[in-house]
Each structure stands twice: as structure tokens, then as C-alpha cells.
Amino acid sequence: MAGAAAPQQRGGNAEDVSAEALAEIGLRYEVDGEIATITLNRPDKRNAQTFATWSALADIGGNLPEQIRVVVVKGEGPSFSAGIDLRMFTPEGVPGQGSFSSAAALEGPAFEERLRQAQQGFLWLRRPEIVSIAAVQGHAIGAGFQLALACDLRIITNDVKFCMKEPALGLVPDLTGTKPLVELVGLAKAIDLCLTARTVEADEAMRIGLAEKVVARSDLAKAVQDKIAELLSTNRDAAAATKRLLQGARGRTLEEQSAAEGAEQAKRLRALFG
């Protein structure tokens, strides 16, 4: 759940998101040509997330510059993100942001709107015109795990610990993590991971499909840069069209997918040769 409403459309420029405001929340946002990098920057709190974190992520997505093709999400310090800031479970909550107690007092549409705003911080990372990469080290717990799952690709270090902690806290994963988890590992394994809230380390994460690559912590930055170079080597519009096809494939029959491929290819051929 988040605090303030966030823009829904891509556009604007890097200056639309204030670096000073993000620093106060514990985020860093940098744009370099076709690459945007979002860094969770509360290393003393293992990059624990708050209402403001989710609202700021949605704001970044709503103001993403048009030229961006790759978005990297990473965490400063020893952990990617240890999940929800535990102050949110106290009556006092996070100063200026409230708590789960205050959120629980909301009724009907007000509660649903706050949850929708929070989810927007994660949903935009799936847009077909970008590829999002989670560079994950150390702990990725609860909301941290879901942020990694919101990205298209996960490059992880050999000390990673994934855990869907919410059910152990009396909650459900509500930051858009359940669908990609089931799609990546299957229903039975997703039930096992969520309903036991057990820890998944790097070897298992790679084996069951939660990660594309496992590297030593010292090699994480280079592995991400290598993947960015590979992604940027393909045609921008063809990459977006292909991602649209792949995202829609699971929900279509073979005949429907074939028709979708033909429609996308017709657009590409006209763009290239028309």
C-alpha cells in the first residue's frame, strides 16, 4: 500500500523525479542514455521498504524518459531488500507515512486505491518497451522478493536468500509477486515457498527458474553490464514487439499466438521495408 497517487503514463524526463526527495525516502535514480538505474539506498536498514518507497517507484515509472530501454533495480549495501520496514507493524508506523493500522482503518474504495497505488510501483517494470533487470545480492525478503519478481530478469549473487515472508506475518503477497512466481516455478513449488515462508538460496533459485544467472558478489556489476550490452544489441522496436508476444503467449491458444505473431511481423515488415 502506498501513500500518494502516482502517474500512470510513461513520459517526462529524469528531472521530474527529485533526487533530493528520493534521497529522503532512501532511493537513488540515475539515467544514462538508454539505461535507467534505481537503487534502494537504505543500507543501514537492509533497504527495507515503506509506503513512500512504493509511491516513489510508481512516480519513477510514470516519468520514465522515452529513450529508456533497460531498467536496472538494485540495492545498496549487503542486501537487495529485507522487505517491509518493521515500523509499519507498530501503531506509530513510519513518521509521516502511517502504519498498517492506519491503512486497515480505511474502508472500501479508499483502501483499494491505496493498494492500487502501491502496486503501480511494481507493475510498470513489465512494460514491453523496456527490459527490467533485478541485480540481487544478500536478502530479498517479502516485498524485496516481490520487487525482484516484478523484473523481467534476475541476476543474483551466490549469497542470495529469497523468502516470501508475508504469510508468516499474517499477510498475503500483494505487490504483484504471486503471478510471476507461479509462472516461473509452477503452482506446487509456489505454494511450498509461500506457505512455508522458507528461504531459497542461490543454487535452488537457479535450479527452479527464479534466476537467469548466479555470480560471485564481486562479479554482479559486470554481469549486469554484460546483460545490458546484449539487450541493447537488438532492434528496439523488434525487442518490444517480441516481448509483447512472449508476455501474451501463456494466455493464448497456438492459433491465437500464431495470429499475434503475424500481426506483429506485418508491422515490422512495413516499418523496415514499406
Q: Is the pLDDT of residue 1 over 50?
A: no
What distance in Å separates the CA atoms of residue 264 and residue 194, rounded to the nearest whole number?
37
Q: Is 141 helix (H, G, I), strand (E, B) or coil?
A: strand
> Model confidence at 4, in pLDDT bands (50, 70, 90)?
very low
Does residue 54 lie within any of the structural domains?
yes
Residues 172 and 238 in one domain: no
* Same domain as 171, residue 144: yes
Task: Assess if residue 193 is contained within a domain.
Answer: yes
Tell me how many degrees the CA angle 217-222-224 measures, rounded to the nearest 5. Answer: 90
Query: Do 123 and 219 lie in a common domain?
Result: yes
Domain contains 163: yes
Task: Say whether pLDDT at 224 is over 70.
Answer: yes
Same domain, 164 and 259: no
Residue-wise pLDDT for 104-120, tens only, equals: 888 778 888 888 989 99
Q: What whole-number percentage of the chain has pLDDT above 70?
A: 94
Same domain, 132 and 251: no
The answer on 153 and 142 residing in a single domain is yes
Q: What is the largest CA-CA distance in the chain?
A: 63
Does 178 score more than 80 pLDDT?
A: yes
How many independent structural domains does the chain possess? 2
> Is the Cα dihedral 62, 63, 67, 69 positive or negative?
negative
Residue 9 lies in a domain: no
52 is a domain residue: yes
pLDDT in tens, 34-74: 999 999 999 999 999 999 999 999 999 999 999 999 999 99
| Nearest residue to 38 (alpha-carbon basis) of 93, 67, 75 | 75
Q: Is 5 part of a structural domain of the chain?
A: no
Element (H, E) at 32: strand 27-32
**CATH number of the domain residue 54 falls in:** 3.90.226.10
Q: Tell whether 132 and 43 lie within a shared domain.
A: yes
Residue 197 counted as domain residue: yes
Question: Are 44 and 67 in the same domain?
Answer: yes
For residue 239, the enclosing domain spans 234-274
Residue 75 has pLDDT above 80, yes or no: yes
What confidence tier does 16 reach under pLDDT thresholds 50, 70, 90? low
Whole-model pTM: value is: 0.92
Angle at 126 between CA 124 and CA 128, to 5 degrees: 105
Angle in degrees, CA 5, 88, 152, rounded to 5: 60
* Rounded Cα–Cα distance for residues 129 and 121 (Å): 17
Assess if residue 269 is contained within a domain.
yes
